Amino acid sequence: MSTYQFDIAVIGAGPGGVEAALYAGRKGLKAALVSNTSIGGRAVWSSLLPSKAWLALAEKIDGLRRLEGMGAHAGKHELSLEQLRRRIGEQSRLAFGIRLKELEDAGVFFFFGDGRIIEAHKLEVSSAEEPTRTITAGNIIIASGSGPRFLPDARPNKDRIYAPKIAAALPEIPPSLIVAGGGVTGTEYAYAFAALGSRVTVLQSGAQLLPRMDAEVAGAFRAYLEGHYDIRFHAGEAIASMRQEGDKVFATSIRGSVFEADYGFIAIGRVPDLSFFEPGQLPLALTEEKMVNTDAFGRTSIPHIYAVGDVTGTPMTANRAAMQARVAVQHILDGDGSKLLPAHFIEAAYTNPPIAQIGDMGPEAGAEFISKPFSSLLKANIMGEAEGLMKLKVRKADGLILGAAGFGAHFADVMGIVQVAMNNDIPYGKIREIPLAHPSISEILTG
Amino acid sequence: MSTYQFDIAVIGAGPGGVEAALYAGRKGLKAALVSNTSIGGRAVWSSLLPSKAWLALAEKIDGLRRLEGMGAHAGKHELSLEQLRRRIGEQSRLAFGIRLKELEDAGVFFFFGDGRIIEAHKLEVSSAEEPTRTITAGNIIIASGSGPRFLPDARPNKDRIYAPKIAAALPEIPPSLIVAGGGVTGTEYAYAFAALGSRVTVLQSGAQLLPRMDAEVAGAFRAYLEGHYDIRFHAGEAIASMRQEGDKVFATSIRGSVFEADYGFIAIGRVPDLSFFEPGQLPLALTEEKMVNTDAFGRTSIPHIYAVGDVTGTPMTANRAAMQARVAVQHILDGDGSKLLPAHFIEAAYTNPPIAQIGDMGPEAGAEFISKPFSSLLKANIMGEAEGLMKLKVRKADGLILGAAGFGAHFADVMGIVQVAMNNDIPYGKIREIPLAHPSISEILTG
């Protein structure tokens, strides 16, 4: 058994793990990246990236519709799932290549296999191809991510019941589709399939689509989707079972409602991947929801073991994971004096238009809400994409932005302006007075 | 003759004039807006807005091309200039309506006619429809804008030689087109026609396309356009004459080169509109280039007369005009203690992708340049729009951003982040460490 020694060993090569290893390598630390998936992790190879290829196609097809009235009549298009599948493969390899080069440039060592933490500073990497290797490290960062959640009676069946990971295996665009789940993933795929021509039924467990978002913005977004696509949302219909009979799929909610369609799609959440340790063997504290318990710097209950990304809880987004990764590495470098603190970050569904939120949008004494519709923007109108709403929460006393939410063209990019302002205590008045590019979508923040 | 009295009288209802009147009205000043064009000015009715409708159409047609390979085959589209013309009218009326409502809400008074400054606090408004009216005002803001520049031997002829203002009157998409001028307007229309199928020849006066932009970025953008469209740029071929013979247009450069195409298009700059005064009568100082001479607050040589926008010089952009307008009004309110100072602003050509710049990109001791290609971004790749380049100039001593330039998808919006950072002294390191939305184009600023 070979033994290797590192400053930092990272388990998991998804967005959090890659960022942790990269950041550590760039700071001059000797870093190991341990993963049983190829670089990019599940995000690149089965969840985030494939969904974005579907969404990019849906967005371009949307563009065809918008062409009418702008100065052209679009011809009839033909979808090619074969082409889409090929593209997902190409894009995954491209993302892999970009990350690999960055990791190599940062001097990161890569270990392929299942990583398992044995004790505070030691982990083992095992795989079918190589003898088990032991890594010792000054610090370990757990970034093992999450996998899709299914129910005993609601899981993909390799025929007409699908999940995001295997969406590309669909033989056709479903004439009709039941999407179980009204979170980010369910909403993204519901939009994508609706834009590509499916009649979509979404079963959401709670009262609100995208329950983490501002209720008014989420409600307006839902109304937008229902108004523009053949898509219907059913609130309070958490799925109990999904089964196939012949060529039909039937979904039954916990309330007993039954829905029927040609295909089913399950996106009811993700569960953390805890395969990196044996609960009896390592005294790692978990939360009630079986997430790894961490503090703001990512420290777990065991000194020198940190955790970042999905394994630490919701929201399970790539940019939260990346931020946590940097915060953890910086804390390893600087200790409690670290100046890199957890920042406000954006949660988004990358539909077209995207919907995004940052900060807390709940009612609050001393705060005011400012709303602006995208229909007031020259740029949105001229693009033919005037649907959308921006909502800001501002503290009256000092004008600081406490939160923002909205949906509309380019909104995930525009939110970067809000994010920079929030993370640097720039009051809204200072954004408002700046002449942003005209005409641009960023002007939604001015005037 | 009626006499009216105001705190501020603004001449010109384009982006600068409307913003000045709005800002003044919102601050509680009694403001008059004097214009011989409808609200929106030439920008809305003949230059900025129509060009953006052409560009929006071109961008959507670009989208059809990009569809191939993403999971669909686009059908053959048909252009409809009739539809585009109708849309330009609709969009102009929409922009007019939005601005009108804002002005009304701000309590601004509107005077239709030619505004002429008689003396420091007095101007006359004359029109064919109404008797001449006299307005007295504590302060006057000149925002009379600019009109297109032509040469004696190079001007629109209502047949095959066009200018931006009358582009919508084209009977067809030109099979081939000579665009005289490699500035923002020439570049925007050259791109639009090329994307819509024209074979385009651009005659630029200087060595560089978009001479105000960073040379490396402008060069890469030119190469992108030449690589993706049937478009050729000819440097150092400033136009001397453009004439039509039969169904052909011939352009001769000052060098003597002759170019031939089916149509010609002249976009060689704009000249300030100085019709608001009689040089002998009012001692208003002009620059050598016949622009109104102003200081940083917009003050002219005559106390209480300010000037903003195109009439004060280049770059003749709407957002520079709007910023100058607010700075001038705030200075009127607060005097030299005004805290609203001229801000860094974005210059852009709204092609697809857009190209934009802020600040100074010249070489400078103690500054470093950071470049990043759009091909390194997941979002750009997945959108099928991976062409682009971002370049930042950062002062090594304190990490402050001194300038930025680039082209790429959504770049005019993303530049808003840089603009907020520059105007609030946020060092680049603070932008870089923030986890922007993933995947998004704004990530071009991180990593």
Query: Looking at the domain assignment, is residue A35 inside a domain?
Result: yes
Q: Are A375 and A407 in contact (CB under 8 A)?
A: no
Under 8 Å CB-to-CB from A359, ≥6 apart: which residues?
A: A344, A393, A401, A402, A403, A404, A422
Q: Buried b / exposed e across B31-42, counting CB within 10 Å, b at 16+? A: bbbbbbbbbbbb
Domain shared by A200 and A294, yes or no: no
Q: Are A273 and A144 in contact (CB under 8 A)?
A: yes
Q: Does B424 touch chain A (CB under 8 A)?
A: yes
Query: Looking at the domain assignment, is residue A57 inside a domain?
Result: no
- Domain of B376? 353-445
pLDDT, residue A341, reads 87
Classify the phi-psi angles of B27: left when phi > 0, otherwise alpha if psi is within -120 to 50, otherwise beta. alpha
pLDDT, one tens digit per residue, over B387-400 is 999 999 999 999 99
pLDDT, residue B349, reads 98
Domain shared by A35 and A96, yes or no: yes
Smallest CA–CA distance from A71 into chain B, residue: B84
Q: Does A298 touch chain B (CB under 8 A)?
A: no
Cβ-based neighbour number of residue A245 at 10 Å: 9
Which of A235, A268, A301 terminates a domain? The answer is A268
Which of A337, A368, A389 terminates a domain? The answer is A337
Domain shared by B109 and B22, yes or no: yes
Q: CB-based burial of residue A104 (10 Å sphere; 0-12 exposed, 13-18 middle, 19+ buried)?
A: exposed
Query: Looking at the domain assignment, is residue A34 inside a domain?
Result: yes
Cβ contacts of B416 on chain A, cutoff 8 Å: 414, 416-417, 434, 436-437, 440, 442, 445
Cβ contacts of B79 on chain A, cutoff 8 Å: 71-72
pLDDT, residue B307, reads 98
Q: Does A79 touch chain B (CB under 8 A)?
A: yes
Which of A244, A268, A292 terminates a domain? The answer is A268
* B110 has a pLDDT exceeding 70: yes
Smallest CA–CA distance from B429 into chain A, residue: A340
Domain shared by B21 and B140, yes or no: yes
pLDDT, one tens digit per residue, over B44-98 is 898 899 999 999 999 999 988 889 899 999 899 999 999 999 999 999 999 999 9
Q: Of the candidates B350, B133, B102, which has an alpha carbon nearest to the alpha carbon of residue B221?
A: B350
pLDDT tier, B3 (very low <50, low <70, confident <90, very high otherwise): confident
**Bridge pairing between strands B239-245 and B122-126:** unpaired
Domain shared by B128 and B217, yes or no: no
Here the CATH number for the domain that contains residue B247 is 3.50.50.60
Instruction: Dihedral sign for Cα B102, B104, B106, B108, please.
Output: positive
Domain shared by A135 and A14, yes or no: yes
pLDDT, residue A205, reads 95
Domain shared by B263 and B281, yes or no: no
Cβ contacts of B447 on chain A, cutoff 8 Å: 102
pLDDT, residue B205, reads 95
Domain shared by B281 and B422, yes or no: no
Q: Of the candidates B442, B445, B441, which has an alpha carbon nearest to the alpha carbon of residue B386?
A: B441
Q: Does A322 touch chain B (CB under 8 A)?
A: yes
Query: Looking at the domain assignment, is residue A109 inside a domain?
Result: yes
Domain shared by A263 and A133, yes or no: no
Smallest CA–CA distance from B380 into chain A, residue: A56
Domain shared by A9 and A112, yes or no: yes
Percent of chain B with pLDDT over 70: 99
The DSSP letter of residue A172 is S
Cβ contacts of A94 on chain B, cutoff 8 Å: 381
Here the CATH number for the domain that contains residue B401 is 3.30.390.30
Angstroms from B222 CA to nearest CA on chain A? 21
Q: Does A417 touch chain B (CB under 8 A)?
A: yes
Q: Are B271 and B290 in contact (CB under 8 A)?
A: yes
Query: Looking at the domain assignment, is residue A403 inside a domain?
Result: yes
Query: Looking at the domain assignment, is residue B371 inside a domain?
Result: yes
Segments of chain A scoring below 70 in pLDDT: 1-2
Domain shared by A20 and A119, yes or no: yes
**Is A67 within 8 Å of B69 when comparing Cβ atoms?**
no
Residue pairs spanning A and B at CB distance below 8 A: 253
pLDDT tier, B374 (very low <50, low <70, confident <90, very high otherwise): very high
The whole-model pTM stands at: 0.95
Q: Region B425-435: what's the mean pLDDT? A: 93
Q: Does A437 touch chain B (CB under 8 A)?
A: yes
Query: Looking at the domain assignment, is residue B154 inside a domain?
Result: no
Q: Does A404 touch chain B (CB under 8 A)?
A: no
Q: Are A313 and A289 in contact (CB under 8 A)?
A: yes
Total domains present in chain B: 3
Domain shared by B142 and B20, yes or no: yes
Query: Looking at the domain assignment, is residue B52 inside a domain?
Result: no
